Structure 1
Amino acid sequence: MFKVWIDAGHGGKDPGAVANGIQEKDIVLKVSIGIKNRLEADYENVQVLLSRSTDVFLELKERTTKSNAAGADLLVSIHCNAGGGKGGFESFRYTSASENSIKLQDKLHKAIMGKLGGIDRGQKAQNLHMVRESKMPAVLTENLFIDVVSDADRLKQTTVINAIIDGHVQGIAAYLGLVEKTKDDKPVSQRDINVPSKWAEATWAELTQKGYFDGKRPGATVTREELAVIVSRIVKSNFSNN
């Protein structure tokens, strides 16, 4: 079982970069949780551990101490950037990185750029705590710029967040050589019963307005007694209109 450590930067009292109506800490948490969910759902023999799964503050030392104690096979620290002019994506390894860290960075960087597109600011080396103090191959990713309007607009789009998540998942899977689960092994995704399907939105709204439904749990299954209530409402409505 491979152990993957995903570190969502900042959190709690430390929002990270803030501009254009978004905060770095929120974006990176969403991405980190998405990486965990997709890696574990789509690939065999992998466990994803998170520095944080909620909006809490952690010192840098706490993050690397926990990841080292867990014996993770790799660490990826997720961030968004600021102060970079035209924006774009870049990744970092330690200045004296191991060959495996360099390999991980290469796999990640290429996979993320392949999904995300846009400006490629390159694969870089820097003396950053998260990649220096981690005992396993480690990379820090800077996923677009909070303070560049065009990048911030992209970060507000679900499709772009998904592209960032997918790029990380693809890069990690390629580095570790993970085997994708067969369709039979993948869990069936559960729909939110409180949200109507796109194709049924208009009809659901119309029938709710007419009183046939109470507007609750549009995606839930119907019991025979609930169906009886619905039929009764329809009959009474038709009777009153005649």
Structure 2
Amino acid sequence: MAMKLYLDPGHGGKDSGAQGNGLQEKDIVLDIALKIRDILNSEYKNIDVKMSRTTDTFISLNQRTSEANAWGADYFLSIHCNSDDGTADGYEDYIYINISDSSQTGKYRDIIHKEVVKMNELHDRGEKKADYFVLRESAMPAMLSENGFIDSKHDAELMKNSDWRQKVARGHVNGLEKAFNLERKVSQIIYKVIAGSFKSKKNAEERVNELKSKGIESFIVTLTMSGELWYRVQAGAFTNKKNAENTLSQIKALGINDAYIITEDVSIKGAVHLTPEQMNQYVKSVNPDALSIADYYSEFGKYYGIRGDMAFAQSLLETNYFKFTGIVKKEQNNFAGIGATGPDNPGISFDTPKDGVLAQIQHLFAYATNDPLPNKYPLVDPRFDRVDRGSAPTWIDLNGKWAVPGDTYGQSILRIYDEMKNFSNKKVEKQGC
């Protein structure tokens, strides 16, 4: 049976919550909560997450606890930020004032607290109790976390950073995993060793040459962040974390201190993280005349359990950002080159853009899994039954299958997806949330 988590981003709509340093609590906590939800949905088995709100809407305190109680939630987790007089800072969390520390609620809070403070870079203000409505009126164990002081310059600077909000979310998830013995999904993780990022290609080339002279192979990967081209030096990608750590140690032993490891889930199956708006905004930053069809990638991706935002990145690779400069033309509504083999065979045509996206998602489903195709939508991919089912659970596995020879086909999709994420994160930071 699935563990049922009621996740409550505080405030919303007309209730902004605490304010300070150009930030509003309702925005910060919603982003953290959404990140918690996405991590849980994409990385863990047997967990059902219901949120009090997923947008900037006002929900009363009574509505929140009544919904959680009626749903039969196993745990109520409320996400907040704090404020005082501008002098206080740090993290603290609360359980109901009349509950003992030795209770199950107290034990859950002990575990989660320890994991959050490992990640959040905030002063630990301790575990506390209060007579807050959501703690008092929830029928299940409940905790409220106060993730920094929004009127503290130090804490607010952290809050503005999407990577920090991701760390806070990860800390909560790590705590939930330990408290409720959550089981992780089997995922395809690769560990990339990054040996520096440079605005100057010459500097990146010098770093590659330096590593090569010491017997460490590396190469340059380009990426665009905030409209600027960067040159990232990558010294390998590993499925074994220990191997990545060994390479990182070799690099740091050379006095290169800006080296680090990034992890990447390369599974085709999984949660959709980017919103349709984020996807559309990104492609229009490259091609202002691009089609606005990201809604379909989000809708169908979520239904089939396919990473629809990565499928969108695949379509950008196949169509040159919807410019259609290759053999497949716009009027074909074929955004993934299905069936296209050359100038004499430009592939399949679909009646509508919606059908074209649906076919792409179904084609990815065929490659990623042996499961029967869910039947909510008709099968519109004419090549579905020609796929070697389950032969490509990762994007990299598509090399030589979706694209021939396509030795770096999957890696190119992942690169575009990374650029989309960086673009979206930068827009959020500019908006102050």
Change (3 A) 1:41 1:95: same
The letter of the residue matching 1:93 is I
Q: Does 1:179 align with 2:275?
A: no
Contact 1:64 1:133 in 2 (8 A): yes
The residue identity in structure 2 corresponding to 1:13 is K
Please say if 1:221 is aligned against 2:221. Answer: no
Give the Cα–Cα distance (whole angstroms) in 1 for the partners of residues 71 and 271 of structure 2. Answer: 29
Contact between 1:42 and 1:186, CA under 8 Å: does it hold in 2?
Answer: no
Question: Scaled by the length of structure 2, what TM-score is found?
Answer: 0.46
**What is the CA–CA distance in structure 2 between the aligned matches of 1:214 and 1:35, rounded to whole Å?**
33
Matches of 2:133 and 2:22 in 1, distance apart?
A: 28
Does structure 1 retain, via aligned residues, the 8 Å contact 2:38–2:271? no
Cα deviation for residue 132 of structure 1 reads: 1.1
SS in 2 for 1:227: coil
Q: Does 1:9 align with 2:10?
A: yes
Provide the rounded CA distance (Å) in 1 between the counterparts of 2:47 and 2:17. Answer: 29
CA distance in 2, matches of 1:140, 1:78: 6
Aligned with 2:114: secondary structure?
A: helix
1:91 is matched with 93
Per-residue CA deviation, residues 183-236 of structure 1 (Å, 9 max, x unaligned), is 16883566747637xxxxxxxx9xx8xxxx77848941335962269xxxxxxx
Aligned residue number for residue 393 of structure 2: none
CA offsets 1:121-148 (integer angstroms, 9 cap, x no match): 0000111111111111100000001101
CA distance 1:48–1:222, shift in 2 (3 Å): same
Aligned amino acid, residue 50 of structure 1 = M
Give the TM-score normalised by structure 1: 0.81
Gaps of 5+ in 2: 189-266, 292-311, 329-433
The residue that corresponds to 1:120 in the other structure is: 124
Aligned to 1:24: 25
Partner amino acid for 1:23? Q
Q: Is the 8 A contact 1:93 1:125 kept in 2?
A: yes
Identity of aligned residues (%): 36
> Relative to structure 2, which stretch is displaced further, 62-71 or 183-192?
183-192
Instruction: Supply the distance in 2 between the matched residues of 1:195 and 1:122 (Cα, whole angstroms).
Output: 41
Distance 1:194 1:122, change over 3 A: same
Kept in 1: contact 2:41–2:271 (CA 8 A): no
- Cα 1:57/1:194, change in 2 over 3 Å: closer
- CA offsets, 1:59-89, max 9 Å, x none? 1111101100000000101000000623000
Q: What residue identity is the alignment partner of 1:221? A: L
| RMSD (CA atoms) | 2.7
Deviation at 1:108, TM superposition (A): 1.3
Q: How does 1:30-109 map to 2 (within 5 A)?
A: 30-83=31-84, 85-97=87-99, 99-109=103-113
What are the within-5 Å matches in structure 2 for residues 150-165 of structure 1? Answer: 150-165=154-169
SS of aligned partner of 2:326: helix
Tell me, yes or no, if the aligned pair for 2:122 and 2:155 is still in contact at 8 Å.
Answer: no
List per-residue Cα deviations over 1:16-40 (Å, max 9, x = no partner). 0111111000011111111111101
Distance, in Å, in 1 between the alignment partners of 2:282 and 2:127 is: 41
- 2:269 partner amino acid: P
Distance 1:187 1:179, change over 3 A: same
The DSSP-based 3-state class of the residue aligned with 1:53 is coil
Code of the aligned partner of 1:226: T
Secondary structure, counterpart of 2:282 in structure 1: coil
Separation in structure 1 between the aligned mates of residue 183 and residue 268 of structure 2, nearest angstrom: 12
Secondary structure, aligned partner of 1:5: strand
Q: Which residue of the other structure, out of 110, 117, 122, is the alignment partner of 2:114?
A: 110
Please name the residue that 2:147 is paired with.
143
* Residues 194 and 216, structure 1, Cα contact 8 Å, conserved in 2: no
1:214–1:132 Cα change, 3 Å? closer
Asked if structure 1 preserves the Cα contact closer than 8 Å seen for 2:7 and 2:78, the reply is yes
Question: What is the alpha-carbon distance in structure 2 between the residues aligned to residue 78 and residue 21 of structure 1?
Answer: 19
Q: Which moved more, 1:90-99 or 1:13-22?
A: 90-99
> 1:48, 1:189 → 2: CA distance?
13
Which consecutive unaligned segments of at least 5 residues does structure 1 have? 197-204, 230-242
| Counterpart Cα distance in 2 of 1:131 and 1:187 | 36
Task: Determine the C-alpha separation between the residues in 2 that align with 1:42 and 1:146.
Answer: 30
In structure 2, the CA distance between the partners of 1:228 and 1:39, relative to structure 1 (3 Å rule), is closer
Contact 2:99 2:106 in 1 (8 A): yes
Query: 1:118 Cα shift?
Result: 2.4
DSSP-derived class of the 2:6 partner: strand
